[in-house]
Structures are given as structure tokens and as C-alpha cells.
Chains A and B, each alone.
Chain A
Amino acid sequence: MIKGMLICSLFFLTFSIFAIIYRLVKGPSAPDRIQALDALGINIISGVAIFSVLLGNTGFFEFILLIGILSFIGTIAFARYIERGVVIERKHSE
């Protein structure tokens, strides 16, 4: 029963990832696509957690933390690029 519930949750997760990919392809503006990528990263975190329960292996927990940090940094960088045109601002020295 435990395995069936985990497979069922993977099923739901697959459907939500398909919905997010639909938004990523169709999204009319750039912030829509950034939002979809952020949600995709978060769903991938959840998928890694489910797989680590399914395999009974604790070796994948670093990937959860790593994907979380990388998704956050990428989202912030894209949002700054849209808002200001640059990601890292330089000092104006004139």
C-alpha cells in the first residue's frame, strides 16, 4: 500500500510538471516563464524526495538542498535582468 501511494503521488507530480511545461511553452510574457521555471524546480525537489523514500536511500538529500539554492539564484537573476536590464550592476565612477 505504501508503494502504491508513492506511485500515485508520482503520478500527480507528473501531471503537474506537464501543466507547468504547458505554461512554460505558452506563457505570453517573460515573467510567466520565469514563474513556471521556479515552480518546475520546486516540483523537481518534491520528486527527488519521493524517489528517495521509494528507494529507501538517504543519499539524495544534498540534491534537494542544491536544487533549491540553484532555483532561487536563477529566479532572482532572471527577475533582475527583466527589471533593470543587467544582472550585476557596476559602480558608476564618473
Chain B
Amino acid sequence: MNGSIPSEFLPVLLILIGTVFSFLSAVGLIRLPDVYTRAHAASKSATLGVLFALVGTFLYFLWEEGYFSIRLFLGIFFVFLTAPVAAHVILRSAYRANVELAEQSVQDDLKEVLKKE
């Protein structure tokens, strides 16, 4: 190590950070108590992890080969838009299907609003 870092070091480091984020979200998916907290872990940090990995891939091919991939760019944009929407729709269906909250949750504001309808 004489201080010269190769130019593909930063994109690959981004990919490594992204997969570490995916691993943390998977640990949250195992350990958290109910479906709402699990979706909280899975949607946010898995989206961030896959964004890091895709941006790392994009920068790798941009710097190494000068290849600007518009398909990968569209993929990044699409994943960034749709992953939170998918988590929202799943949780909405879970609440409408009366999936129980965890025992240590303290307040359920939506129940009275739904009862009034």
C-alpha cells in the first residue's frame, strides 16, 4: 500500500456498504416482533442497500469503461420510487386483514377511525 488507490475502489466500497445494509435489514426481518416493524426494517434499509449497490455498479461501469447505462439509471430510479409504495400497500392490506400489532405497542389510533366509518 503506497497510497495509490485504484479508481474502482470507491464503487466496490459502495457495493459492500449496500450489501451490509441488506444484511442488517434481514436481521431486522428476523428479530422484530410484528409485521409492521418488520416492514419498517425491510422496506427502508433494503431499499437503501440496493440503491448503494446499484449506484456502485453504475459508477463502476462509468469510470472503468466510460459506459453510461441508461437502463441501470432507470432501474435505480424505479426501485427508489416503487419499494416504499410496495411496503405501504402491503401494510395497508395487513391492517385491513386484522393482523395483530405486537404486544408492546401502546396506541392504535387508526382503530377508532375505522370503527367510525
Contacts and interface: CB of A to CB of B under 8 A. Distances in A.
B23 A12 contact: yes
A49 B23 CA distance: 16
Interface string A4-16: 0110111011011
A45 B12 contact: no
Given A19-B30, A39-B46, A65 B71 contact: yes
Interface of A is mostly: helix
A17 B26 CA distance: 8
Interface string B1-21: 000001011011101101110
Given A39-B26, A49-B54, A61-B75, A34 B69 contact: no
Contact of A20 (B18, B29, B39): B29
A39 B61 CA distance: 26
Contacts of A31: 35, 39, 90-91, 93-94, 97, 99
Interface of B: 6, 8-9, 11-13, 15-16, 18-20, 22-23, 25-27, 29-30, 35, 38-39, 42-43, 46-47, 49-50, 53-54, 56-57, 60-61, 65, 67, 69, 71-72, 74-75, 78-79, 82-83, 85-87, 89-94, 96-97, 99
28 contacts: A1-B9, A2-B9, A10-B19, A12-B16, A12-B20, A19-B26, A29-B35, A30-B97, A31-B99, A35-B39, A38-B42, A38-B86, A38-B87, A43-B50, A46-B50, A46-B53, A49-B50, A49-B53, A53-B15, A53-B56, A53-B57, A58-B67, A61-B75, A65-B75, A75-B86, A82-B96, A83-B92, A83-B96
Q: Which 7 pairs of residues, A with B, have the shortest CB-CB distance?
A: A16-B26, A19-B26, A31-B94, A9-B19, A83-B93, A12-B19, A49-B57
Given A31-B99, A35-B43, 13 more contacts: A2-B9, A2-B12, A6-B12, A9-B19, A9-B20, A9-B53, A13-B19, A16-B26, A23-B38, A29-B35, A49-B15, A58-B65, A79-B92
